[in-house]
């Protein structure tokens, strides 16, 4: 993840020019060129280098919309441009097709690129670079920073600042959440339930059901404790089947395999960097701590989810693959 935040370029033509210059700088060449302009038949590409066997498509996106809308649009763009390249018979030899965007990196798009290569049996790689990757590639290239970002100043201590910010938050939470963190759940005098809210959510305090895109903006969970880089919350109780070979699942019993049923808690981990702030007193709707987070993991704030056994004396943990 980039440690600086360059402003996204709002002009489509300027974004294509930046991508062209960036790839020339990365590969120490001047062979990357723009493939026509608006109004020309671009055959699904914006930039190419015959020497490097690379073609590039640039996608400047309106980031004011819902993220899931942008991702779906990008995936449609990727498939549409690949179909155009195939049908138009691009007369340029290439082994890699890059899709670059002002939208951020996202694993769903990376996975889609892999799947479309397999499904269409493509002979070239399909690679997605979101704005996070572009930032990482451009941040040490002074000439490009000056050309495209004017008076932007690179702060050399941004990694340190991010580390110190998270450490300060950890210390603050340890101090102010002592009524929960210093006791086992059964010994707490205060209820463990808290409200996890998307800082930019619009559903609260109304129904906390998934919206039309399958995403949430708030829900209740019980605080479990801290881990080395964030907070842990219990947000469900399940029963799983554990087999003799130590595999496990939620489904029907596997034929020919012995198993035992284990009651487990579903635990989500929220990284300190995804916690913007909290209100320890809550409000008139829920008088308990409200944690304001980035819900950026498929509609949830958890960077990782695991399960642990609720059986007395057990210390078993079960991780999702």
CA distances from 243 to 72, 101, 253, 258, 259 (A): 39, 45, 9, 6, 4
Q: Where a domain ends, among 93, 119, 149?
A: 149
Q: Where a domain ends, among 104, 122, 149?
A: 149
In degrees and rounded to multiples of 5, residue 49 shows phi and psi of -140, 110
Q: Are residues 18 and 130 in the same domain?
A: yes
Is 99:78 a contact under the CB 8 Å cutoff?
yes
Of 244, 257, 242, give the one whose Cα is nearest residue 308: 242
Please tell me whether the overall predicted TM-score, pTM, comes out greater than 0.75 for this model.
Answer: no
Going residue by residue through the chain (321 aa), what tens digit of pLDDT does each one get? 444 567 888 899 999 999 999 999 999 999 999 987 654 455 668 999 999 999 999 999 999 889 999 999 999 999 999 998 888 777 788 999 999 999 999 999 999 999 999 999 999 999 999 999 999 899 888 889 889 987 765 555 567 888 888 999 999 999 999 999 999 988 999 999 999 999 988 889 987 777 666 677 899 999 999 999 999 999 999 998 888 877 888 877 666 678 888 899 999 999 999 999 999 999 999 999 999 999 988 889 999 999 999 988 888 888 876
Cα 131 from Cα 6, distance rounded (Å): 9
Does some domain include residue 158? no
293, two tokens = 């987070």
Q: Are residues 177 and 77 in the same domain?
A: no
Q: Are residues 132 and 239 in the same domain?
A: no
209: CB partners within 8 A, 6+ apart: 216
Q: Are residues 33 and 177 in the same domain?
A: no
Q: Are residues 202 and 108 in the same domain?
A: no
Q: Where a domain ends, among 106, 122, 149?
A: 149
53, two tokens = 């066997």
Confidence at residue 42, expressed as pLDDT on a 0 to 100 scale: 54
Domain interval for residue 42: 12-149
Q: Report H helices in the chain.
A: 12-26, 67-88, 107-119, 131-138, 142-149, 158-176, 178-181
Count of domains forming the chain: 2
CA distances from 198 to 186, 218, 275, 293, 300 (A): 28, 6, 10, 5, 9
Does some domain include residue 28? yes
Is 177:289 a contact under the CB 8 Å cutoff?
yes
DSSP letter assigned to residue 264: E
Confidence at residue 1, expressed as pLDDT on a 0 to 100 scale: 44
Q: Are residues 211 and 140 in the same domain?
A: no
Q: Are residues 78 and 108 in the same domain?
A: yes
Does some domain include residue 282? yes
Please return the burial class of 170, using the count of CB atoms within 10 Å of its CB with bins 0-12, 13-18 and 19+. middle
Confidence at residue 282, expressed as pLDDT on a 0 to 100 scale: 94
Is 308:318 a contact under the CB 8 Å cutoff?
yes
Does some domain include residue 156? no
CA 88: distance to chain centroid?
A: 34
Cα 205 from Cα 237, distance rounded (Å): 24
Task: State the sign of the Cα–Cα–Cα–Cα dihedral 299, 300, 303, 306.
Answer: negative
Does some domain include residue 3? no
Q: What 3-state class would DSSP assign to 21?
A: helix
Cα 279 from Cα 277, distance rounded (Å): 7
Q: Are residues 106 and 244 in the same domain?
A: no
Q: Are residues 45 and 142 in the same domain?
A: yes
Confidence at residue 257, expressed as pLDDT on a 0 to 100 scale: 74
């Amino acid at each position: 993840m980039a440690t600086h935040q360059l402003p996204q370029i709002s002009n489509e033509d300027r974004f294509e020019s930046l991508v062209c210059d960036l790839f020339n700088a990365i590969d120490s060449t001047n062979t990357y060129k723009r493939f026509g302009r608006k109004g020309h038949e671009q055959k699904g590409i914006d930039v190419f280098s015959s020497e490097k066997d690379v073609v590039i498509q640039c996608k400047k996106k309106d980031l004011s919309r819902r993220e899931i809308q942008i991702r779906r649009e990008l995936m449609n763009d990727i498939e549409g441009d690949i179909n155009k390249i195939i049908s138009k018979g691009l007369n340029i030899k290439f082994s890699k097709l890059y899709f670059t965007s002002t939208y951020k990196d996202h694993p769903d798009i990376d996975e889609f690129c892999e799947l479309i290569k397999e499904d269409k049996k493509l002979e070239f790689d399909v690679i997605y670079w979101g704005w996070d990757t572009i930032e990482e590639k451009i941040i040490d290239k002074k000439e490009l920073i000056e050309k495209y970002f004017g008076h932007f100043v690179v702060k050399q201590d941004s990694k340190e600042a991010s580390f110190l910010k998270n450490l300060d938050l950890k210390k603050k939470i340890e101090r102010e959440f002592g009524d929960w963190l210093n006791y086992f759940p059964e010994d707490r005098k205060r209820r463990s339930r808290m409200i996890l809210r998307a800082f930019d959510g619009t559903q609260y305090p109304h129904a906390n059901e998934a919206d039309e895109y399958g995403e949430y903006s708030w829900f209740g969970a019980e605080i479990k404790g801290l881990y080395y880089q964030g907070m842990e919350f219990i947000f469900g109780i399940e029963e799983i089947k554990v087999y003799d070979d130590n595999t496990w699942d939620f489904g029907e019993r596997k034929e020919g395999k012995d198993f035992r049923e284990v009651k487990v808690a579903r635990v989500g981990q929220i990284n300190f960097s995804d916690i913007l702030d909290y209100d320890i007193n809550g409000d008139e709707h829920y008088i308990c701590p409200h944690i304001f987070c980035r819900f950026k993991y498929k509609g949830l704030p958890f960077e990782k989810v695991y399960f642990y056994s609720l059986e007395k004396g057990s210390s078993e943990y079960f991780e999702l693959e």
